[in-house]
Chains A and B, each alone.
Chain A
């Protein structure tokens, strides 16, 4: 009974937050609603017994995307952007609404009326879990059974960084940090405590990912949160052209993943077919390098430039 009540409140809250995000007249309110929506979403995934997705949603959906949106909002305000074009043209709004409804309707239809799958992928994956080298079925699917998808995802992140390199700014006009932040002793104390703690939690999530919820993406995002904190407190500054260390960090995930993917061909016979005894070790190596690249790219996305350097105190 009480669980139904809780789930019902969550579902209603989710719908209401989504609605408020779309119709809110003020952009700032819409952003805050969107962040809260991400937190509710994470709770929903937790209730659906999908802790891996819940962690990713809380870290990426609510945390990092929220920070990116707020950053973009501040840049808009600094450029004296006016809110009067917040209301889209009726024609545009109507066509967007129709397209989204068709998409949602199609998805709902597919979910409700699709025939029973001929192959039970879930059972197949669980049956071969012992061969994957890890104990967490989500990690087994992401890094072993469907490693190709993850490899391409990391490629997409790399492309995003290349995009930053073409459009990034040296030091944004919006002056991301003001003097009133940089000389705050309390903030310095908090950063000194939170930064090492964030690194600890990130590495723990990476290590736990082999057998429990966690993994390279969650770990990388927690580390990126540390990067955001360092940027906001003025300890990291944008740099137009990335130095050697940044280039290495950004590419190491893709390089190690691709090298292992190709390197196992002579042994296993196929791309990404890890030899059985080595699978666990290879996955840890890949995940560690992925974590570094994901953390660095996400931090740079927030900073808004391809490179970074130490700055301030």
Chain B
């Protein structure tokens, strides 16, 4: 029911680094989206989603690496706080953009 290889992966010293690297990949993707996406709304989407998941994976990796419940709890609180703040600031920016008639990108059909 609990395969050996999975236990081996979870217990290995490399597992936290795997999580952190994966988190960094999300940050990289979010940054690419921020730079390359065509309008404000899609950029916000790329940025906040990627940051949330990326930071979550990095916090998880760091907590795993540290093996201390108090550190894990602090990291969890930091992640929750960032989740909340980034969701609200994303909402505010998008709201402002809507009110000030920011250009919305549409697929061209030609």
Interchain CB contact under 8 A, A180 and B96:
yes
Q: Which residues does chain B contribute within 8 Å of A180, judged by CB atoms? A: 95-96, 99
Interchain CB contact under 8 A, A190 and B95:
no
Q: Which residues does chain B contribute within 8 Å of A189, judged by CB atoms? A: 88
Shortest B56–chain A CB gap in Å is 19
Q: Which residues does chain B contribute within 8 Å of A178, judged by CB atoms? A: 96, 99
Task: Kindly state whether residue B91 has any CB partner on chain A within 8 Å.
Answer: yes
Interchain CB contact under 8 A, A181 and B92:
yes
Chain A 173-203 interface residues, beta-carbon cutoff 8 Å to B:
178, 180-181, 184, 186-187, 189-190, 193-194, 197
Q: A181-B92, A184-B91, A184-B92 are in contact. Are A190 and B85 (CB under 8 A)?
A: yes
Interface contact tally, CB-CB below 8 A = 23
How long is the Cα–Cα vector from A193 to B84 in the complex, in angstroms?
10
Q: Which residues does chain A contribute within 8 Å of B92, judged by CB atoms? A: 181, 184, 186-187
How long is the Cα–Cα vector from A3 to B81 in the complex, in angstroms?
29
Q: Which residues does chain B contribute within 8 Å of A181, judged by CB atoms? A: 92
Q: Which residues does chain B contribute within 8 Å of A190, judged by CB atoms? A: 84-85, 88
Binary interface profile of A, 111-149, with partner B (CB < 8 Å = 1, else 0)? 000000000000000000000000000000000000000
Number of B positions contacting A (CB below 8 A): 10
How long is the Cα–Cα vector from A287 to B96 in the complex, in angstroms?
40
Q: Which bracket fits the contact residues of A?
A: 10 to 19
Q: Which residues does chain B contribute within 8 Å of A193, judged by CB atoms? A: 84
User: Which residue of A is nearest B98, CB measured?
Assistant: A180
Shortest A10–chain B CB gap in Å is 17
User: Which residue of B is nearest A197, CB measured?
Assistant: B81
Shortest B28–chain A CB gap in Å is 15
Q: Which residues does chain A contribute within 8 Å of B88, judged by CB atoms? A: 186-187, 189-190
How long is the Cα–Cα vector from A189 to B85 in the complex, in angstroms?
11
Interchain CB contact under 8 A, B84 and A184:
no
Interchain CB contact under 8 A, A186 and B91:
yes
How long is the Cα–Cα vector from A158 to B99 in the complex, in angstroms?
39
Q: Which residues does chain A contribute within 8 Å of B96, judged by CB atoms? A: 178, 180
Shortest A1–chain B CB gap in Å is 16
Chain A 6-30 interface residues, beta-carbon cutoff 8 Å to B:
none
User: Which residue of B is nearest A189, CB measured?
Assistant: B88
Q: Which residues does chain A contribute within 8 Å of B99, judged by CB atoms? A: 178, 180
Shortest B14–chain A CB gap in Å is 16
List 5 extra interface pairs beyond A180-B96, A184-B92, CB under 8 A.
Answer: A180-B99, A186-B88, A186-B91, A194-B85, A197-B81
**Chain B residues with a Cβ under 8 A of chain A:** 81, 84-85, 87-88, 91-92, 95-96, 99
Kindly list the 5 A-B residue pairs having the minimum CB-CB distance in the complex, ordered from nearest.
A190-B88, A180-B99, A186-B88, A186-B91, A180-B95
